[in-house]
């Protein structure tokens, strides 16, 4: 089966790697000129994401990509009082892995390089603009005129998916969450944290983890109106950091200390999630990762779900049946789980909003919310991943697609 994956991000590269482990070839068409993707600063890869990587033979990758263990969270109110915590020390025993904090670009590059080393072919500067059904497959047309014909097309092209828009023009669009996220890593004179530290600040939510005198920090800047696409791409860093410091000027000492040292933020990302789609697939096209179900980063689950999707789809694509039947099995395995986590992310986002009355209520009820959230965390981290790739990679087989350069 000729498989074309649109998007060489976290989901696309993981899928390409997993397919090659089964001996199934695939072409990855990526809009960027190479593997380098610097968006998103750093992220938390949860135990379920790490377990899914292990199941496809990439158990060593989180550490190889520089990830360090970060289990559990302490929550503080705006005066610095610890109001709740999430224990994480037992994650290894309970779920089989500790979550890790990784620089997103390193995770991304490591996945893409492993996929390429396993034999996946990448077409760079390949921005999909059209999809056409042919008699026996799908033709993908790219902005520079190139085209590739394949039996199936996998849309792994992220939250603003072109595959989704071209295949389901009436599908809902990503929904803005009212938060602009930003963050970076900054040298600080603070001790290592054993848990992630979260602050419901006076005017914005702030989180950080310290490892070897480097603070990995983010803040959720509230902004009611949705920024225009690209509006926040080239910010004046001095002005932007000044506004972030002012936002947190009354917050507890560690928050102010980190922001005092921070010279820049690695970006400013308006946060979106995806309303539920009616379906993720047709007979020849299937969505995975953020294209199908982008979750709010508040869940810390986006990358983990993208990796799970890739591992599960690779399994179903080995079955001796039609593409439509494979995709239906994949969707049955994944859709409810992913959409439940999207809804959970919305609830967390609502808790982060600050108002004086709301803050008092939140401080009083946060522990209870987290106890309820503990059940959700168990479901998220404890995902039983039943499919494992063969121990030895199989030699590639099949025609990866017909390219018309």
CB 98 within 8 A of CB 51: no
Q: Which of 5, 43, 55, 111 binds ligand FAD (CB under 6 A)?
A: 43
- Applying CB under 6 A, which part among 62-70, 289-297, 331-339, 368-376 lies near ligand FAD? 289-297
| 155 contacts ligand FAD (rule: CB under 6 A) | no
Q: Which is nearer to ligand FAD, 3 or 363 (CB)?
A: 3
- Applying CB under 6 A, which part among 71-79, 287-295, 371-379, 395-403 lies near ligand FAD? 287-295
Query: Scanning residues 323 to 342, which ones bind ligand FAD (CB under 6 A)?
Result: none
| 10 contacts ligand FAD (rule: CB under 6 A) | yes
In the complex, minimum distance from the CB of residue 320 to ligand FAD, in angstroms, rounded to a whole number: 28
Q: Which of 19, 31, 328, 370 binds ligand FAD (CB under 6 A)?
A: 31
| 91 contacts ligand FAD (rule: CB under 6 A) | no
Q: How far is CA 384 from CA 63, 111, 118, 220, 338, in A?
A: 22, 22, 26, 32, 14
Q: Which is nearer to ligand FAD, 231 or 249 (CB)?
A: 231
In the complex, minimum distance from the CB of residue 13 to ligand FAD, in angstroms, rounded to a whole number: 8
Q: Nearest to residue 95, comparing CAs of 57, 42, 45?
A: 45
In the complex, minimum distance from the CB of residue 270 to ligand FAD, in angstroms, rounded to a whole number: 9
- Applying CB under 6 A, which part among 26-34, 80-88, 170-178, 199-207 lies near ligand FAD? 26-34
Q: Nearest to residue 348, comparing CAs of 82, 84, 62?
A: 84
Q: Which of 2, 7, 122, 252 binds ligand FAD (CB under 6 A)?
A: 7
Q: Which is nearer to ligand FAD, 105 or 258 (CB)?
A: 105
| 8 contacts ligand FAD (rule: CB under 6 A) | yes
Q: Which of 4, 5, 11, 70 binds ligand FAD (CB under 6 A)?
A: 11
Q: Which is nearer to ligand FAD, 97 or 128 (CB)?
A: 128
Query: Scanning residues 295 to 324, which ones bind ligand FAD (CB under 6 A)?
Result: 297, 300-304, 306
Size (the chain), residues: 405
Q: Which is nearer to ligand FAD, 146 or 203 (CB)?
A: 146
Q: Which is nearer to ligand FAD, 53 or 128 (CB)?
A: 128
| 401 contacts ligand FAD (rule: CB under 6 A) | no
Q: Nearest to residue 137, comparing CAs of 23, 27, 277, 18?
A: 27
Interface size with ligand FAD, residues (CB under 6 A) = 35
Residues forming the site for ligand FAD (CB under 6 A): 6-12, 29-32, 37, 40, 43-44, 104, 126-128, 156-158, 162, 181, 269, 289-291, 297, 300-304, 306
């Amino acid at each position: 089966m000729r498989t074309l994956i649109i998007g060489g991000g976290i989901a696309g590269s993981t899928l390409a790697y997993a397919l090659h482990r089964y001996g199934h070839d695939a072409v990855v068409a990526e809009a960027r000129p190479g593997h380098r993707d610097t968006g998103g600063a750093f992220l938390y890869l949860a135990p379920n994401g790490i377990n899914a990587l292990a199941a496809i033979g990439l158990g060593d990758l989180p550490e190889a990509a520089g990830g360090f263990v970060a289990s559990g969270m302490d929550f503080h109110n705006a005066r610095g009082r610890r109001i709740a915590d999430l224990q994480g020390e037992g994650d290894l025993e309970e779920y089989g892995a500790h979550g890790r904090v990784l620089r997103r670009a390193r995770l991304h590059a490591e996945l893409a390089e492993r996929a390429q080393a396993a034999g996946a072919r990448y077409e760079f500067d390949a921005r999909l603009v059209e999809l056409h059904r042919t008699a026996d497959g799908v033709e993908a047309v790219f902005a520079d005129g190139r085209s590739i014909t394949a039996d199936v097309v996998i849309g792994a092209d992220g939250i603003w998916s072109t595959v989704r828009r071209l295949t389901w023009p009436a599908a809902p669009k990503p929904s803005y969450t009212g938060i602009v996220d930003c963050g970076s890593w900054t040298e600080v004179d603070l001790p290592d944290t054993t848990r992630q530290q979260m602050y419901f600040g006076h005017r914005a939510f702030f989180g950080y983890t310290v490892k070897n005198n480097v603070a990995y920090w983010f803040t959720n800047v509230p902004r009611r109106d949705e920024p225009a696409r690209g509006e926040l791409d080239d910010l004046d860093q001095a002005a932007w950091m000044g506004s972030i410091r002012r936002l947190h000027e009354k917050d507890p000492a560690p928050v102010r200390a980190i922001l005092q040292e921070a010279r820049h933020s690695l970006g400013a990302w308006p946060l979106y999630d995806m309303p539920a789609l009616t379906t993720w697939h047709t007979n020849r096209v299937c969505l995975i990762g953020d294209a199908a179900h982008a979750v709010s980063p508040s869940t810390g689950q986006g990358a983990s779900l993208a990796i799970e999707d890739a591992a599960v789809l690779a399994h179903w694509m080995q079955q001796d049946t039609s593409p439509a039947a494979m995709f239906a099995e994949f969707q049955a395995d994944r859709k409810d789980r992913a959409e439940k986590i999207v809804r959970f992310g919305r609830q967390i986002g609502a808790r982060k909003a600050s108002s004086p009355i709301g803050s008092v209520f939140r401080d009083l009820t946060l522990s209870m919310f987290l106890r309820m959230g503990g059940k959700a965390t168990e479901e998220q981290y404890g995902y039983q991943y039943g499919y494992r790739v063969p121990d030895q990679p199989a030699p590639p087989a099949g025609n990866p697609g017909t390219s018309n350069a």
